[in-house]
Amino acid sequence: MSISYFIPDWDDRVDPGYDFLTDKHTPGRNPYRDDSYAHEIYPRPPYDGVLLSRAVLDNNSKKLNDLIKLGSVHTYLRLPKTHKVLGDCGAFSYWEKDVPPYTTHDMVDFYHSLGFDYGVSVDHLIFAHDDAERRRRQELTLSNAEDFLAEHSKECQFIPIGVAQGWSPESYRDSVKKLLQIGYGYIALGGLVRSTTEQIIQILQEVKPELRSDTELHLFGVNRPEHIETFATLGVTSFDSASRLRRAWMDGRRNYFLGNTAFSAIRVPEAQRLAKKNDGIDIGEALRLEKIALSALRAYEENSDASYLEQALTAVLAYDELAGEVTDRTRNDYRETLVRRPWAYCECAICKKINIEVIIFRGNNRNRRRGFHNTWQLYEQLHGHVQELPSPLDASLSDAGQMTLL
């Protein structure tokens, strides 16, 4: 199976010299200059390329000005030339507007002048229920794609990608058929982020007969690793997604992935922030319990037996109770994570370097590193390298208490 994975760029960087014991940044650090991307931390980037959206840049004038000043998207992202940069408009940012805010001419010039490897035509998402509006948006997207290919001159070094938008399997097939007739060899299916896996497969099955042997097909914003092989057999050659990265700090429970298993991170928020969010919390008590919780977790890292596990669990829950009632599910999730110690078995550079700190839900430098770990695990899965925890568990840990499997 050969399928390429692009990670969307959302300024996901960390301080490479962050001190986890004192929670201090590198002295004199400039975040834009000194912080590191995942591809600067791992010996091999955990993705095949980066997706950079024009809308994201337009929302941050400093980023856009820095990119224009450097004149190279690879230099801006500090990404090796061996890894590709895919550019698009960021259609989700303007889906409520009648027409996209970008012209075909502007986007062709944007991709060409900044050295993108792939450039996506100007598309418009179809979330309307009115049939006339659906067809208007589809026709606008296809018309833009036709103009885009016409504007793409021999001087342009980037590979053009035409976007197919639709609202049903048949409408997506119509779009793909038209894009192939126009002359596209690389097509992207848009608007599928909210679709179920079954719906995506139905669309791919409908589209597949139209594809040629050399047609490349991209899925925008779709990450279903357990179905990647099915997608590949239906013609998909690339996809982009940041969901595994984002789950590290945005998911209520599934924060850390090891193979096909997800674990809850152990929440130890910074005491100062915890007190600000909860007026009734005594800052002195919060600082005391925070210190005990962190010390107990690190002691468990050094002495992984049942007594240290119970001390760590008790300390973390006592700190969590400051912010509100702790549920049985939280207790079980934390015990599951501590008993099984997934970070100790992960082979990635981050887990090997910072150990238990990666599983602590606390601030950008831990949370995003955990997201980088998740991204690395996903990339390993895509290449057939699935890590799993050893089984059965070590007896000394399994005696520590009941486990609740995810």
**Residue extents of the structural domains in the chain:** 48-241, 250-398
pLDDT value at residue 1: 55
Q: Of these residues, 9, 240, 320, 333, which one is catalytic? A: 240
Average pLDDT in the 208-225 region?
Answer: 95
> 48-241 sits in which CATH class?
alpha beta
Read off the pTM. Answer: 0.93
pLDDT value at residue 236: 97
Whether the per-residue pLDDT at 393 is higher than 80: the answer is no
Mean pLDDT estimate for the chain? 93
Interatomic CA distance for residues 151 and 108, integer angstroms: 7
Rounded percentage of the chain residues whose pLDDT exceeds 70:
96
Neighbours of 376 (CB within 10 A): 25
pLDDT value at residue 61: 87
132-140 long-range contacts, CB within 8 A, separation 24+: 134/167, 134/171, 137/165, 138/165, 138/166, 138/171, 138/174, 138/175, 140/99, 140/100
Catalytic residue at 240? yes
What's the distance, Cα to Cα, between the start and end of the chain in Å? 28
Whether the per-residue pLDDT at 394 is higher than 60: the answer is no
Average pLDDT in the 318-337 region?
Answer: 94
pLDDT value at residue 397: 45
Whether the per-residue pLDDT at 406 is higher than 80: the answer is no
Rounded percentage of the chain residues whose pLDDT exceeds 90:
86
Average pLDDT in the 43-69 region?
Answer: 94
Interatomic CA distance for residues 172 and 231, integer angstroms: 16
Residue for token pair 């139905």? 202
Tokens matching residue 204: 């791919």
Which band of pLDDT confidence, cut at 50, 70 and 90, is reported for residue 181?
very high
Catalytic residue at 88? yes
pLDDT, tens digit, 9 for 90 and up, residues 31-55: 989 999 999 999 999 999 999 999 9
Measured at the alpha carbon of residue 186, what is the angle toward residues 183 and 191, in degrees to the nearest 5?
A: 110
Q: Of these residues, 12, 35, 88, 320, which one is catalytic? A: 88
pLDDT value at residue 263: 98
Give the residue from 385, 359, 388, 352 showing the smallest Cα distance to 42: 352
Q: Which residue has better confidence, 258 or 155?
A: 258
